[in-house]
């Protein structure tokens, strides 16, 4: 299990088991996100902005769109500085209108994106200095899946949830 490599993944899984009341503002943001995900979009840019904005509020992190050298796109990433003066991506999000839309499951696409982001030559120092931990979020229509990703010689990606809605 990926939790053996870093406690952040274990803490996330433990948090899923808690039965404490969920704050009202988080419930409202979650409901708003699900409503946006249920809407069929004709213009993908509108969808990106709406979802990225709600995720920003829900997760309390800044999110930007990232285009890799090969034109693969992460719909939203959280960028943070590292001691190596290179950016790391502790959160990566990819979404599709529905499961199977666009020819591939977003969980597969975002897993490859995590690998592509960290094998770029400009992030070689980050990869050498850390396991490049990321929480990766896959959204397919109203379905959301959270996985943990890291490098331990080779990439390790493990689902931490099933597709939930």
Mean pLDDT calculated for residue range 18-38 = 90
Write out pLDDT tens, residues 47-81. 667 888 999 999 999 999 888 777 778 889 999 98
Q: Which helix (H) or strand (E) holds 46?
A: helix 44-59
The reply to whether 141 falls in a domain is yes
For residue 85, give every residue at least 6 positions away whose Cβ sits within 8 Å of its Cβ, in sequence order, or none. Answer: none
Alpha-carbon distance of 104 to 135, in angstroms, equals 20
Write out pLDDT tens, residues 144-156. 999 999 999 899 9
The reply to whether 103 falls in a domain is yes
The reply to whether 49 falls in a domain is no
The reply to whether 133 falls in a domain is yes
The reply to whether 109 falls in a domain is yes
The reply to whether 24 falls in a domain is no
Number of domains the chain contains: 1
Q: Encoding tokens for residue 92? A: 């990566």
What is the span of the domain harbouring residue 82?
Answer: 2-17+63-159
The reply to whether 13 falls in a domain is yes
State if pTM tops 0.85. yes
């Amino acid at each position: 299990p990926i939790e053996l490599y870093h406690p952040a993944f274990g803490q996330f899984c433990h948090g899923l088991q808690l039965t404490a009341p969920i704050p009202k503002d988080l419930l409202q943001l979650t409901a708003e996100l699900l409503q946006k995900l249920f809407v069929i979009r004709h213009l993908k840019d509108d969808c990106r902005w709406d979802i990225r904005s709600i995720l920003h509020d829900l997760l309390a992190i800044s999110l930007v769109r990232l285009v890799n050298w090969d034109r693969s796109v992460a719909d939203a990433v959280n960028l943070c500085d590292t001691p190596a003066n290179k950016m790391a991506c502790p959160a990566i999000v990819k979404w599709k209108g529905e499961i199977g839309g666009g020819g591939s499951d977003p969980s597969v696409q975002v897993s490859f994106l995590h690998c592509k982001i960290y094998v770029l030559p400009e992030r070689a120092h980050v990869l050498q200095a850390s396991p490049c931990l990321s929480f990766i979020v896959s959204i397919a229509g109203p379905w959301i899946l959270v996985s943990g990703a890291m490098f331990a010689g080779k990439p390790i990606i493990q689902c931490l949830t099933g597709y939930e809605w």
